[in-house]
Structure 1
Amino acid sequence: MTASTFDTSARDSANRFFSLNFAPGQYGVTALSMAYDVGNDMIVHGKAAASVPMSVMKIFGFTEIPLQAACDAQLQLPNSDIMFVLDTTLSMAETNSGDSQSKIQALRQSVTDFYTTLNNAQSAASQVRYGFVPYSSTVNVGLLLKREWMVDNWDYQSREPDGYVDQSGGTQGSTITTNSNYSEWTGSKTATTQPGSSEDCVAPANENYSDTTTYTPWNPSGSAVPRSRTATRTINGSTYSASRSSSGVCTITKTTYNSYSQNYTQTVSENPNAGKQNNSNRVYYWNYKKISFPVSSLKGSTGSGLIGGGSFDTMLGNSFTTKTINWGNSSQGACIEERKTLRPNENGTAYDMDIDMVPVPGNADTQWRPFLPDLIWARAVTNYYPSGSAGITGWQANTVFHVSNNYITPGSYKSDFAACPTIARKLTEIRSSADKSNLTSYLNSLVPRGRTYHDIGMLWGLRLISAEGLFSSENAAAPNGSNISRNLIFMTDGDTETNIADYDAYGLAALDRRRTDASSLPTKADQDSIVEDRLSRLCTIAKEKKNITVWVIAFGTNLTSLLSNCASPNRAYQANNAAELNQTFADIAARISQLRVTH
């Protein structure tokens, strides 16, 4: 607490405290005054003064006497675990109206200030730990898990080589055609840019666009060899293109052409290699289907028993080249696929919704699986960015045999269709200067990518803060033996945003269909509804079964009933800009702390 956060509400509370002893008019009290001084030491210094009339002492000439009292109150933080579940999807690269910094930049600063407030309120005897779960369509938790909690083999929507054929290149013709002598462009070409939706980042349709080429007659004639003619290419109208930066910012570029022209010479001449054989062409064939891969090498080897990451090679590259699959090392995060779930109305056990169950070694239903976008192919999709409103088409649930097509792999779209967010952090104290520096570095590593699957973030936030289950040996008790106040801060900047083309925590949604009807292609509405239902159930588990206080912040978006109902009572906020976000975190910090009279 500082002078800036000791607001009217806090001052009124302090006034009520003093008024309990000397209410205005009580005992004939007059000249009652109260003053407060608040410093950066988190201490509120209070002074009260009043004049009290005397009864018996009047006979000795004392009609009234002045009274003064002083006390100090300080924010004191009990043992506390604070888990941040942070939406770091692509829209966090955008900037709220009126702000000068992106949402992800505002989040970094607000969390830093939040930590500073609580650190100042922490006593030497208490334990305060902070954890982080950045989320998008999955979470990066693989390196926090024990080796036996991960499968040794798993099935992925992939492909396998199915032989090749060398096709004859045919014979060369009697003539060759070349274009040369390009002139400078004339006319005008201008470009303007504007921000686009970071999650979609799709260019609008072109406007009145034409690109035509006209030709002069052949000289000397249309049958002579050699012969030449002049071509004039003219462009009019506007084109649009979309690009996304490494930080997730989407830029839409509009290029407008006005009689933008260029001339060049086209020549037909004799082919000195006429009749010779062209080089043969090798055509490679694939079978596209679900394939089991051994993934135990990705567990690595660490003395702690935790997963260490690794790689393996497989012949999946175009033209049957070797492709190295990395996971949990410097070139690839350690995101996961969730363990067994259930579709709506399906019987069985949804192990993914069990917060505390420790996986059973050898039982793949209870274990997690490595998230490997470079193994995945979107059978039989050839374009992830179609024009118009038709959406992505071509999905084929059945095996596609012996085709030469190189279908889309989500591994080529790791900022959106196969996003792996920044690694999660278990609960840990942040005390030393090195710890604080590491916190700054960690917050700076939060990069917007992927779409908004709220349930997977909440699920792992609960797993990492729970006093039981996976991390009970670390979370069950504090060193001083006192109770632990458990708080989960869930911050998002938007509504649920899924895509059936995403490779997410439940596989390639369009083909794996682990959470939707297996007999039909899922819809976005299907998936959004499932994600929101699971978020609601997880919030209920947190509040009613795990004794966790859930704080929810809607940043730059509306505080929907889904979000407000997720929060504990009176713990839901809407922050429309960076300043409001910072104030929201400051308010949460003050409420987690406890203001106590210390002197």
Structure 2
Amino acid sequence: MRRPTGQGFLTRLRRDQAGNTLAIMAAALIPLLAFSGCAIDGARLYVIKVRLQQACDAGVLAGRKFMTDQSTTNTTLDPTATAQANAFFKNNFRSGWFSTNTVSFTPVKTSDAQVSGTAIATVPMTIMSIFGVSSKVISVTCQANYDIADTDIMFVLDTTGSMSCLPADSDTTCSNYVNAAGTNSYTRPTDTASGNTSVPGYAGTTAYYVPEKSGSRIAALRSAVLNFYDTMAANVDPSTHIRYGFVTYTSTVNSGAAIQAISPTYMIGGSGNSTTTWNYQTRVQNGDSTSSSNTTYNNVTQSTCNGYASPKTYNSSGTGTGNTVSWTANSNGSTSGKCVVTKTTYTPKWNYQQSPLDVSSFVAGSTVTDPTKVTGATAQWIGCVEERNTTSGTTSFDTNNLPADLDPDLTPTSDATRWRPMWPEVEYARNNYNSTSSQSSTGDSSSIPNLGTPTYYQYGYVTCGKPVQRLSTLTRTQVSNYVNATDFRAIGGTYHDTGMIWGTRMLDPNGIFSGDTAAWPGRQTPNRVIVFLTDGDMEPSQYLYGMYGVEYYDRRVTGGDFTNIKTYHNARFLAECSKAKSMNIDVWTVTIGPSSTSQMQSCATTTAQALYTTDGTGLSNEFAAIAKQVAMLRITK
């Protein structure tokens, strides 16, 4: 039987799938379009918001940079700051970008004299407008502070003899000049370094220096330090605290006054300490060598004869004389008689050796009789110190377990951890450095020289330079006075470890100078920065008298291995650099020379912070670049 026609058509239609995809796509087009619109317009909104935030940041940075009224009483942003803020915003976000419209930026002054802002932009939708979403409003906020935190800056400055040369002088040219410089002297001025208790023996004494060439390295250094100060001053916010300190170094650092200002007990022999002596490479008198001659006087009275007698006294050359007499009366009860005068010449006999000497009056600032002289010579301490105990003969140091001299945190509690006064007048070089054993001699000898004589100072074998400046809020005039002082002079040998030890110690928040580095009330911990300046490589010598005594005899650094003396000192320098960085001290090194040594690169916080230059203008530029990095303006919100 034939099926109904209508039923066959419907069945065929049901089975026929042609065109289904088109129908499905037509049905799905609307949600797909919505998804695409969300993605495209969402991405536009994200990009525009990022750019709007950048422009807002640029605007408030410029506004804070150019703010002329920084008072907190006036809460209206001054016209100059407003104009600059708007200009920088518009330069970074132009109206119409990505079809934006109704773009606005409003900079305002905050209650703490900073600049904040609000930026708004209306963004018309593209695909999403089909679904009735016409536009979106984007709003961002921003704030700029002069985020130069309170900062402590310690300048550690090489003032050795080569600093008198020109920046472009070669090592040979400079060395020849320094060695032929001759004798040049000045009178030490009163120590006016802030925070120091002046050592009485410093002012008025004679010191020596290498004369500076016109345009010398040390002259460039003076200008660079002031340029650094000016750069900081031009960028610092009035509410920000900046402290400056100075360490000038050679083979020694003049830190005695600064130590005693904290506590006299930190010095061997200081007031309150039971120990009053320190061991020096010196000499001790061991009797006299004598020679005698007689002179006879006849027919003199006994009283006249007795008048020829005289006690033993020493003259300026160190030779003593004394007369004894004997009188014999003439016969027959006469009051006259024979007088024999015996003149004895005394030449002191000395043992040259390491011996303890009482330093209690010396460190107290008194004028003391030199115990190594028989002529009544006197001496006063001028402030330089010998270091406390250390580990000798090693190039490996543990930053967490340093010897006393390298540990800036360590407060003196024993003789091993106290400093000792340098006393050049009692130091002697026995047998012209050819022996470390005790040596005997009659009288003075050119083969056993006293290191406290002018000759040793003139050639830099003994130095004691300008006293350190403890951290303080110094004015520009005070900074200028420090670097332009009479005693800011070049002489001596280069010991980078000496400078770094004292620079770190004086900036350490945990050591004896922690009071200098403490945060201001209600303020965050200050940033801490060392700017280390040198003009060359380490140049230690076992023959000079410095912070570790005379290395040939004392052997505190090398243990007797003089061949590698430079290696030992470099290891100590880098150990102290590592300690400084472990305390979050930002270390910059600057070298006057054609390159920065590997030690200077390792010492700096980053390789980029190891700078160098071969001319004076370049030195000022490098110092200014450091100051700009330290005083960088930053976004805070």
- Which TM class, normalised by the smaller chain length? 0.5 to 0.7
Contact 1:162 1:402 survives alignment (8 Å): no
Aligned alpha-carbon RMSD (Å): 3.7
Please list, as runs of the form range in 1=range in 2, the aligned pairs for 1:120-159 lying within 5 A after superposition. 120-145=234-259, 146-152=263-269, 153-159=277-283
Using the alignment, how far apart are the partners of 1:537 and 1:53 within structure 2?
59
Which one of the candidate residues 425, 442, 445 is aligned to 2:482? 442
Contact 2:379 2:425 survives alignment (8 Å): yes
When normalised by structure 1's length, the TM-score is 0.63
User: For each residue in 1:159-196, what CA deviation from the matched residue of structure 2 results, as whole angstroms up to 9, or x when unmatched?
Assistant: 123344455799xxxxxxxxxxxxxxxxxxxxxxxxxx
> Does 2:351 match 1:287?
yes
* SS of structure 2 residue aligned to 1:159: strand
**Residue 22 of structure 1: how far off its partner (Å):** 10
Which one of the candidate residues 141, 147, 166 is aligned to 1:95? 166
* SS of structure 1 residue aligned to 2:506: helix
> Does 2:423 match 1:423?
no
> Does 2:410 match 1:357?
yes
**Residue 502 of structure 1: how far off its partner (Å):** 0.8
Using the alignment, how far apart are the partners of 1:22 and 1:357 within structure 2?
49
Contact 2:151 2:526 survives alignment (8 Å): yes
User: For each residue in 1:474-517, what CA deviation from the matched residue of structure 2 results, as whole angstroms up to 9, or x when unmatched?
Assistant: 32322232231111111111100011111011111111111222
Q: Which residue identity is paired with 1:444? A: N
Counterpart residue number, 1:340: 389
**Stretch deviating more after TM superposition (463-472 or 117-126):** 117-126
Alignment CA distance shift 1:66-1:579 (3 Å): same
**Residue 40 of structure 1: how far off its partner (Å):** 12
Counterpart residue number, 1:372: 423
Counterpart residue number, 2:554: 512
Greater strand content: 1
Alignment CA distance shift 1:147-1:38 (3 Å): closer
User: For each residue in 1:253-275, what CA deviation from the matched residue of structure 2 results, as whole angstroms up to 9, or x when unmatched?
Assistant: xxxxxxxxxxxxxxxxxxxxxxx
* SS of structure 2 residue aligned to 1:482: coil
Which one of the candidate residues 373, 387, 401 is aligned to 2:440? 401
Using the alignment, how far apart are the partners of 1:397 and 1:598 within structure 2?
63
Which one of the candidate residues 492, 499, 503 is aligned to 2:534? 492
Contact 1:77 1:118 survives alignment (8 Å): no
Counterpart residue number, 2:605: 568
Using the alignment, how far apart are the partners of 2:363 and 2:411 within structure 1?
17
> Does 2:474 match 1:414?
no
Q: Which residue identity is paired with 2:264? A: R
User: For each residue in 1:356-392, what CA deviation from the matched residue of structure 2 results, as whole angstroms up to 9, or x when unmatched?
Assistant: 11111xx2111100011111001121xxxxxxxxxxx
Q: Which residue identity is paired with 1:380? A: N
Q: How many residues align?
A: 421
Which one of the candidate residues 96, 105, 115 is aligned to 2:229? 115
Alignment CA distance shift 1:55-1:583 (3 Å): closer
> Does 2:151 match 1:80?
yes
Using the alignment, how far apart are the partners of 1:55 and 1:503 within structure 2?
74
Alignment CA distance shift 1:491-1:54 (3 Å): closer
Greater helix content: 2
* SS of structure 2 residue aligned to 1:528: helix
Alignment CA distance shift 1:22-1:396 (3 Å): closer
Please list, as runs of the form range in 1=range in 2, the aligned pairs for 1:189-228 lying within 5 A after superposition. none
Contact 1:169 1:280 survives alignment (8 Å): yes
Alignment CA distance shift 1:23-1:500 (3 Å): closer
> Does 2:602 match 1:559?
no
Q: Which residue identity is paired with 2:452? A: G
* Structure 2 unaligned blocks of 5 or more: 1-48, 56-61, 71-79, 109-114, 116-143, 170-212, 270-276, 295-342
When normalised by structure 2's length, the TM-score is 0.60
**Residue 557 of structure 1: how far off its partner (Å):** 4.8
> Does 2:373 match 1:312?
no
Contact 1:395 1:510 survives alignment (8 Å): no
**Residue 449 of structure 1: how far off its partner (Å):** 1.6
User: For each residue in 1:209-234, what CA deviation from the matched residue of structure 2 results, as whole angstroms up to 9, or x when unmatched?
Assistant: xxxxxxxxxxxxxxxxxxxxxxxxxx
Q: Which residue identity is paired with 2:461? A: F
User: For each residue in 1:510-529, what CA deviation from the matched residue of structure 2 results, as whole angstroms up to 9, or x when unmatched?
Assistant: 11111222xx5x42x42211
**Residue 556 of structure 1: how far off its partner (Å):** 2.4
Identity within the alignment, %: 30
**Residue 56 of structure 1: how far off its partner (Å):** 9.1
Using the alignment, how far apart are the partners of 2:99 and 2:548 within structure 1?
83
* SS of structure 1 residue aligned to 2:605: coil
Q: Which residue identity is paired with 1:321? A: T
* Structure 1 unaligned blocks of 5 or more: 1-17, 25-34, 58-63, 171-278, 301-308, 382-393
Counterpart residue number, 2:576: 538
Which one of the candidate residues 286, 290, 293 is aligned to 1:162? 286
Q: Which residue identity is paired with 1:485? A: N
Q: Which residue identity is paired with 2:251? A: S
Structure with the greater alpha carbon radius of gyration: 2
Contact 2:389 2:404 survives alignment (8 Å): yes
* SS of structure 2 residue aligned to 1:310: coil
